[in-house]
Structure 1
Amino acid sequence: MHYFRVKEDNSSLYTGRVEGRHKWGLPGIRNCPACKASWGTDTRAYPSVDLTPVVTLADFEEPRAEPIEEYERLCELVRPLLPPGALLQPGAALGPLVGRAQGNFGPLVAPSSWGVLLQREALEKLQAEGLRGLKGCGTQLRFRQRNSPELLELEILPGGLLHPDCLPPNRKPPCPRCGRRGLTRPDDMLLDASTLPTQSDLFRLEDFSTVIVCTERFVEACRRLGLDGVSFQPLPMK
């Protein structure tokens, strides 16, 4: 099996643009008591999560940094609502993508390097091909045009790691309290074959959440069906 990174297609002639963020999110961490770092990122998203049952919903509406104790408290409120296999991190995005969209969109859309949208017809075609792990979630995007497409966001669960051989040999272990790794993603990535999931054709790396990976089955189905709008970069593994 071969694997590929799913990225924006800078050569595409599609003009579609999306501006928005997810409806809710966890706060970042301010001054972790163990590693002293302040950090958070919304590159791990779970658009299927509905937080409306949470009484203190306002705690998830404004991006901000909080002491780690408050972050951990909010994690426990969210955890029962997560899809199986989900991992949390400071700043994790939750709920539907809200914002504006305009232009001409292809079947697949990568508004960022860590998210994938697609039109409903494209999702149905891929699912009919038997591809595994594809879950489309509704968005709340306002279009500036008539005859706008229905764009869904793929909920991409974590799975797989980079191989230690492509990481700095003197790297420190993750912070035992907040989990921060403090590593820059290497330019030449090498997947750790022993960690890759076997039940999904699309996943997000556990250790570098900006990297979305798909199988060759996913790439072949997209090419056979004429589903364009993103690019596929081969990733070696060991």
Structure 2
Amino acid sequence: MTYYEVQSSPASRWSGTLRAKRRWALPGLEDCPGCHATWSGVLEYPAVDLSDLPEAHELEEVRPEHWPEYSRLLELVRPYCPPGAHLEPGTGFGPLVGSARGKWGPVTLVDIASLLVREDAIHTLSGLNLTYVWPQLRRPPSPRIAEIHLAPLGRLAPECSQSDQETPCAVCGRDGGLLPQHYWLDAASIPADTDAFRLTDAATLVIVSGRMADRINDLGDSDIMLTPIGTTKPPNFQPPKPLNADGVGIVIRRAPSDI
């Protein structure tokens, strides 16, 4: 199986824009008791419906929470998710809710993580293993747009990581790693019948199968690029070097007036 990374094209052909957010989301985590980080991820499960969860209203406000409250809400949500679903602070659920404007291309990547398909393009993608979720828009475009559910499934190959990369937090799971300069997929982590997904350890990457890439190309001009991503180590690959003893890549210095 071949795979492609989906990226937004720098040259836009279409004018479609979206102002929307998930109907529900886990809160971010404030001051994790394990790693002391305050953070929120970008994982999303558009096809997970929390309408029957009595406490669903507690997931409508974006906010950070301390561990006891976060973990309580996490356990309330888990039974509504697929078995073994990867969940983290800030994980979104349900359809996008908001408004859309302009003319939409056949396939569009919105806000890094949402892959939208124009209604008349769905027929070309028939036969692929895809789940569609219809955004709840005040003024839907014509033709309408559907979102492809991108389950977090695969992982990057272990060799991509720096040798000194910190161990994931035993409490919240945060690993603090950056996307490596050179990366490829761990083929064993990807179910064979998967056509569109994101990665559990690099959630900003949207991946499609080669057969789906062929269908997307058949649709004509879209505001996306499809870049091949391998499943084997590239020739002449050099392992990432550990960080130096200073341990920082970016230093932010405040002006004296800010101190």
5+ residue gaps, structure 2, are 233-259
What is aligned with 2:138? 142
Q: Secondary structure at the match of 1:237?
A: coil
Q: Secondary structure at the match of 1:95?
A: strand
Deviation at 1:85, TM superposition (A): 5.3
Task: Indicate the larger mover: 49-58 or 149-158.
Answer: 49-58
What is aligned with 2:222? 228
Q: Deviations over 1:46-93 (max 9, x none)?
A: 122222222222210111111112111111211121235532110001
Q: Deviations over 1:213-238 (max 9, x none)?
A: 11111111222343733211111222
- The answer to whether the 8 Å contact 2:28/2:40 transfers is yes
What is aligned with 1:71? 70
* Number of aligned residue pairs: 232
What is aligned with 1:202? 196
> Could you state the TM-score of these two structures normalised by the residue count of structure 2?
0.84
What is aligned with 2:237? none
Q: Secondary structure at the match of 2:77?
A: helix
Amino acid at match of 1:159: L
Q: Secondary structure at the match of 2:36?
A: coil
Amino acid at match of 1:6: V
What is aligned with 1:158? 152
- The answer to whether the 8 Å contact 2:106/2:219 transfers is no
5+ residue gaps, structure 1, are none
- Give the whole-Å Cα distance in 1 for the aligned partners of 2:122 and 2:67: 38
Identity value in percent: 37
- Give the whole-Å Cα distance in 1 for the aligned partners of 2:231 and 2:11: 27
- Give the whole-Å Cα distance in 2 for the aligned partners of 1:164 and 1:39: 24
Amino acid at match of 1:141: L
What is aligned with 1:102? 101
What is aligned with 1:168? 162
**Which protein has the larger Cα radius of gyration, Structure 1 or Structure 2?**
2
Q: Secondary structure at the match of 1:55?
A: coil
What is aligned with 1:55? 54
Aligned Cα root-mean-square deviation (Å): 1.8
Amino acid at match of 1:78: V
Q: Secondary structure at the match of 2:151?
A: coil
Deviation at 1:194, TM superposition (A): 2.4
Amino acid at match of 1:98: V
- Give the whole-Å Cα distance in 2 for the aligned partners of 1:47 and 1:162: 23
- Give the whole-Å Cα distance in 1 for the aligned partners of 2:230 and 2:49: 37
Amino acid at match of 1:7: Q
Deviation at 1:9, TM superposition (A): 2.0
